[in-house]
Structures are given as structure tokens and as C-alpha cells.
Amino acid sequence: MIADWEVAKTQGVCGGCGRSFEPGQEYYAALVEESEEAEEGEKEKSQASGGFERQDYCEECWERESPEAFCFWKTRVPEPAQKKKLLVDDEVLLEFFERLAEASERVKINFRFVLALILMRKRILKYQQTQLRDGQEIWIMGQVREQTKHEVVNPRLDDAGIEEVSEQLSAILRSEL
Ligand SMILES: [Zn+2]
């Protein structure tokens, strides 16, 4: 898994102008869906990150190019002395979770399920009940604050599978450099 982390983590440079980010600089981090016609090398990368590629942009390039993103957030390069932040804000996690609702690909279903586990641990989502539908186990979950309902397919991952998906997720979401 270490290799996957290396591939998917942020490079600390702008995807537009190629300039390196400075400590304290604000930038946009985006999750971009891998395109079908990605080259072979790119494909391997997509498997490592579950169909998403992490792209970072400086504010200038973000505004000028407004790249298409599945999900994005604004973040800041930590000062060297600052404690490193492993994951993004809860709102970003929630937004990513919600946007994956329509996904039918296995990797995205896995992502959504593991995001649900994380959000449950953070007490943002609450498990309500399980329904069986077309041989699939569906978890009905409620968002604690907004009182909205969400359906999550249980991909029946074992512990090792959950661990692997969590690592892929942190690899594309982490904001440290
Ligand atoms: Zn730039």
C-alpha cells in the first residue's frame, strides 16, 4: 500500500502552472474522475486511487482554468512546524459521500461505504436499519444534523478490504505535502 500512497498523494505543485506551493499558501485540491482514454500508466494510478485522481491548483490557475472536478475543497499548505492534518473537513467528506450516491462502479461503492463508516464514527451519520434489495444489503442512514436519509450499499468488505479502501481514501484526501 505504500506505493499507492506515493502515487496518489499531492505533489505540492500546481497542476496548472507547475509552481511549487509555499508553506501557508492557500490552494484548491480537487478530485478528478479518471477518463476512459487514460494511458496505461495513468490507469494504474486510477486503480490506486479508486477512479479518482487528486489535482491541486493555485488560486490563480483555479480561477482561470476552472477545471472540472467531482469534488473540491480549499486548503492551505501547512507551516513546517504545524501538526499535519490527515483528512479534510467533515463537510468535504460529507459532500464526497453524497456525490457518490449515484455511483455504480465497485470502487466508488466501496468508497461510499467506507466514507459512511468514517462519518458514523464522527457522529455525522447514524445507522438506522438494513434493507435487502435485489440481493444487496442496503444500510439506511440518517444525517444527524440535517435529518436527511441516505442509502448505502454494503459491499461486504472484510477487515482487510476496509483497511485498503481507507488507505486509498486518505491518499487522495490528505492535505499535507
Ligand atoms: Zn498555478
DSSP classification of residue 12 = S
What's the gap in Å between 30 CA and the centre of ligand 1? 13
Q: Which of 7-16, 42-51, 129-138, 155-164 is predicted least confidently? A: 42-51
CB neighbourhood size of 108 (10 A): 20
How many angstroms separate the alpha carbon of residue 98 from the centre of ligand 1? Answer: 29
Instruction: Give the C-alpha separation, 8 to 17, whole Å.
Output: 19
Distance 11 CA to ligand 1 centre (A): 13
pLDDT tens-digit readout, 86-99 = 557 888 899 999 99
Q: How confident is the model at residue 33 (pLDDT cuts 50, 70, 90)?
A: confident
Q: What is the mean pLDDT of the chain?
A: 82
**pTM for this prediction:** 0.70
CA 83 / ligand 1 centre spacing (Å): 25
* pLDDT for position 116: 96
Domain boundaries, the chain: 1-83, 86-172
Please spell the DSSP secondary structure of 29-57, one letter per residue.
EEEEEPPTT--HHHHHHHHHHTTEEEEEE
Per-residue pLDDT reduced to its tens digit, 97-155: 999 999 989 999 999 999 999 999 999 999 999 999 989 999 999 999 888 999 999 99
The pLDDT of residue 50 is 60
Residues 55-73 have a mean pLDDT of 92
| Confidence grade of residue 6 (pLDDT, cut at 50, 70, 90) | very low
* Residues whose beta carbons lie less than 5 angstroms from ion ligand 1: 14, 16-17, 58, 61
* DSSP-derived secondary structure for 90-129: HHHHHHHHHHGGG--SHHHHHHHHHHHHHHHHTTSEEEEE
